[in-house]
Amino acid sequence: MTNLHPTVSWSLADLPGADQPRVVTIGKFDGVHVGHREVIAELGRIAPEAEATVLTFDRHPKALLAPDAAPRPLVSREQKVEFLGGAGASRVAVIPFTREFADLSPEQFARDVLAEGLGAVAVLVGSDFRYGHLGAGNLETLIEQGERLGFSVHTVADVVHDEGERISSTRIRRLLDDGNAARAAELLGRYHQVRSTVVQGFQRGRELGYPTANLENPPEGFVPRDGVYATWVDVDGVPYQAATSIGVNPTFGDIADRLIESHLFDFDGVLYGSRVTVHFVDYIRPMNKFPDAQSLATQMAEDAHRIRDLLSQ
């Protein structure tokens, strides 16, 4: 059962305690892709009477332990919670990955977080799961601690896609860096999305006959490769077909920061201040430099025709 608004704990101090039985899985869950969704579905099969609970983190552990090697997140904390709820989690605990948390011993983690903090009766992890200070805990120690603290331990296999490669957030991140939004959507089980507030731009699109909604930086969610995409844009829950560009608009050459701009087809209204979500369906072309504004407008007309055809399928 999906729940876009699961019960959320935002800190260790905010954990509910052992007030009811919970079946818990633990992980980064960046992107909440098809593999993650299968893990959450398994929670209900292990203990259908227990509250399906996901324990995750507010950032990638490397953001604290090795900042230069930390990957850009696919989703924001808030997006992650919504996607986890949509995948079937009834409760999500988003723990700040602080030095204090990283220094917990395996015994402290099992007792204070899983048993006493969440009332775990069952815990689902991968076979290579590590936890506690310096990753000192493993599957064997978790089983031993579970026997003492009253929870069983279950393992889940990796989910692979049709190319035989494990579905992972790293793989999806590479696809988006390559502009392959269509393949990323297959591994996510949904279109990749970013969201932000519409702000006023240079209004060049309006002058060319293609007014755009300019998203405030930084948006929530991983920004794909520069270029033009076929997208759906949600405005107050209503989806509109749209052409979305990412980049610095080299035709004009006076923008330093990457911008996300969406031209919504068949939309007539004011979007300034609106919170919108852009769903990336497919990559159309790179962000080219055109000799003049009219050449750009001609290309935008071709883009719009192609995108309408693609999205209408």
Domain residue spans of the chain: 7-156, 190-312
Q: Which of the four CATH numbers 3.30.565.10, 3.30.428.10, 2.130.10.10, 3.40.50.620 does domain 7-156 have?
A: 3.40.50.620
Q: In the prediction, which pLDDT does 215 show?
A: 96
Q: Does domain 190-312 have CATH number 2.40.30.30?
A: yes
pLDDT higher than threshold 90 for residue 42: yes
Helix (H, G, I), strand (E, B) or coil at 164: coil
**pLDDT tens digits, one per residue of 237-290:** 999 999 999 998 755 555 667 899 999 999 988 899 999 999 999 999 998 877
Q: Is the sign of the CA dihedral 212, 215, 220, 225 positive or negative?
A: positive
Q: In the prediction, which pLDDT does 207 show?
A: 54
Q: In the prediction, which pLDDT does 153 show?
A: 98
| Mean pLDDT, range 220-236, rounded to an integer | 97
pLDDT higher than threshold 80 for residue 59: yes
Sheet holding 152-156, edge to edge: 7-9, 91-95, 51-57, 22-26, 120-126, 152-156
Q: What integer best gives the mean pLDDT of the chain?
A: 92
CB contact at 8 A, 44 and 81:
no
Q: In the prediction, which pLDDT does 293 show?
A: 74
**pLDDT tens digits, one per residue of 107-151:** 999 999 999 999 999 999 998 999 999 999 999 999 999 999 999
**pLDDT tens digits, one per residue of 206-226:** 555 578 899 999 999 999 999
Give backbone dihedrals phi and psi of 283, rounded to 5 degrees, phi first. -85, 135
Closest CA to 111 of 17, 3, 29, 10: 17
Q: Where are the beta strands (DSSP E) in the chain?
A: 7-9, 22-26, 51-57, 91-95, 120-126, 152-156, 192-199, 213-215, 227-235, 238-247, 259-264, 275-285
